[in-house]
Amino acid sequence: MEETVASDMMRYPRFEGIRTFMRLPYEPAPVACDAVILGAPFDTAASFRSGARFGPEAIRRISSLLRPANVHHRVRPLDWLRVVDGGDAMVIPGNTSRSHDLIEAAVSGWVSQGAVPITLGGDHSIALAELRALAKHHGPLSLIHFDAHGDTWDEYWGERYTHGTPFRRAVEEGLLDPARSTQIGIRGTVYDPDDIEEGRRLGFAVWTIDEVRQRGLDGVMTAARERAGRAKVFVSFDIDCLDPAYAPGTGTPEIGGFTTHEALALVHGLKGLHLVGFDVVEVLPALDVAEITALAAATMVFEFLSLLAAAKRDAAGQPG
Ligand SMILES: [Mn+2]
């Protein structure tokens, strides 16, 4: 890889430069690369607090803090991957369906260039647009979904396309293979005690946070990996899977969530899967404190890049 501000942080202090993700090169139109960071600043499908449209900007801003090497995977992702920041997909505030079409088109453009899309939300409704783009290219996907909520409700106030419904719509549209899919971290108050079963009725494996605590993080991720098998996997990380103490800046917080340390262990457990897309959603900067929510999100993106790089290194049969 050529030296860039992204790759040489000793020569270019991390606080310098324009805030693309980790100061990666900005490419406003799709180019051939291994992975792309793409913002989807849409938040008008949120059911409670709005403001996640500023999530991509906040995640990019704090991402300059990240250093280039991942100790867990013993890899410097940018040594193995060509990664660019593709800027933001266009959205139309207040029009979910047109925004989803625009996000799908943006993701599609990058996927057809061979890039693994890593999308920054935005509210969780954007996952449906990502899945439409990815399933068109890859066929039905395995989903591994970290969230306080299953996001498998049918509708809100007669609206079928909201941030609480994307994974039911994705199953209905044939974008997911529920038999290979897992939801992890579900908790909080619900509309009906039976709501927690909705994901299971759709065919997903669902781990409430109590069940995760009983089984253990490694046990849950082993089960998720076995269930996904060799399928192509889309990973959706709703920042509200974290406890509000670790991620206060989000629209629908639920107490009793994961620590950031636990989240790292969960995401490390994705190693070995055939990963074709990621997102981190529901970061709401106006309610964040000391950028900790955005930092957690940026770090998850770095972990996703590290997984892709470790897979490429391992496939090349080279250590370190
Ligand atoms: Mn969600």
pLDDT reported for residue 7? 63
Q: In angstroms, what is the span from residue 161 Cα to ligand 1's centroid?
A: 13
The backbone region for 111, taken as left when phi is positive above 0, alpha when psi lies in -120 to 50, beta otherwise, is alpha
pLDDT reported for residue 263? 98
Residue carrying the six token digits 């996997």: 233
Q: Confirm if 265 and 241 have CB atoms less than 8 A apart.
A: no
Q: Confirm if 83 and 95 have CB atoms less than 8 A apart.
A: no
In a domain, 11, yes or no: no
Q: In angstroms, what is the span from residue 255 Cα to ligand 1's centroid?
A: 15
Q: Which domain holds residue 245?
A: 21-315
In a domain, 310, yes or no: yes
In a domain, 287, yes or no: yes
In a domain, 118, yes or no: yes
What CATH number corresponds to the domain at position 78? 3.40.800.10
Residue among 177, 166, 148 at smallest CA distance from 274: 177
Q: In angstroms, what is the span from residue 128 Cα to ligand 1's centroid?
A: 11
pLDDT reported for residue 11? 84
Binding residues: 124, 147, 149, 151, 238, 240
Run of H or E including 86 = strand 83-88
Give how many domains the chain has, as a whole number. Answer: 1
Q: In angstroms, what is the span from residue 12 Cα to ligand 1's centroid?
A: 36
In a domain, 16, yes or no: no
pLDDT in tens, 45-69: 999 999 999 999 999 999 999 999 9
pLDDT reported for residue 57? 98
Collapsing DSSP to helix, strand or coil, 75 comes out as: strand
In a domain, 6, yes or no: no
Q: In angstroms, what is the span from residue 240 Cα to ligand 1's centroid?
A: 7
Cβ-proximal residues to 25 (8 Å cutoff; 6+ apart), any chain:
4, 6, 84, 85
In the beta sheet, which residues pair with residue 26?
85
Q: What is the DSSP track for 239-280?
A: GGGB-TTT--SSSS--SS-B-HHHHHHHHHTTTTSEEEEEEE
pLDDT reported for residue 10? 83
In a domain, 120, yes or no: yes
pLDDT reported for residue 195? 87
Q: In angstroms, what is the span from residue 123 Cα to ligand 1's centroid?
A: 8
Binding residues for Mn(2+): 124, 147, 149, 151, 238, 240
- Give me the residues of the chain with pLDDT under 70, please: 1-7, 318-320
Q: What is the DSSP track for 165-228?
A: SHHHHHHHTT-B-GGG-EEEEE-S--SSGGGGGHHHHHT-EEEEHHHHHHH-HHHHHHHHHHHH
pLDDT in tens, 231-242: 999 999 999 999
In a domain, 5, yes or no: no
Amino acid at position 162, single letter: T
Question: What dihedral angle (degrees, nearest 10) is formed by the CA atoms of 240, 244, 249, 251?
Answer: 50
pLDDT reported for residue 8? 76
Residue among 183, 80, 62, 71 at smallest CA distance from 127: 183
CB atoms within 10 A of CB 295: 22
